């Protein structure tokens, strides 16, 4: 697996994958100068850091979808 493929699978940047390789959060193998993440390690990292999207709280108000909400940004 390449770093680019790992970044796509983890939905993060390539530089963040290199950071995780450097810190030892994802195992890798060396091929010459290249560091290639191990697919099983990437899958394990993804499972450990998976956050469950829970239901919305009962009293939460939806955000306004007014077209004038960000008007101050376009002056």
Over residues 12-66, the pLDDT tens digits come to: 999 999 999 999 999 999 999 999 999 999 999 998 887 776 666 666 666 666 6
- 26, 33, 36: which is closest to 3 by C-alpha? 36
Q: Which residue has the tokens 């994802």?
A: 26
Looking at residue 57, what is its pLDDT? Answer: 65
Looking at residue 29, what is its pLDDT? Answer: 95
Looking at residue 21, what is its pLDDT? Answer: 93
Q: Which residue has the tokens 């195992």?
A: 27
Looking at residue 23, what is its pLDDT? Answer: 92
Beta carbons of 7 and 14 less than 8 angstroms apart: yes
* pTM (predicted TM-score): 0.65
Are β-strands 28-31 and 34-37 bridged in parallel, bridged antiparallel, or unpaired?
Answer: antiparallel
List strand residue ranges (DSSP E) for the chain, in order: 28-31, 34-37
Greater confidence, 61 or 9? 9
């Amino acid at each position: 697996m390449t770093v680019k493929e790992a970044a796509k699978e983890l939905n993060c940047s390539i530089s963040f994958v290199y950071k995780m390789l450097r810190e030892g959060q994802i195992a890798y193998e060396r091929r010459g100068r290249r560091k290639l993440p191990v697919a099983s390690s990437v899958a394990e990292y993804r499972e450990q850091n998976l956050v469950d999207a829970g239901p919305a709280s009962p009293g939460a108000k939806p955000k306004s979808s007014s077209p004038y909400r960000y008007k101050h940004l376009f002056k």
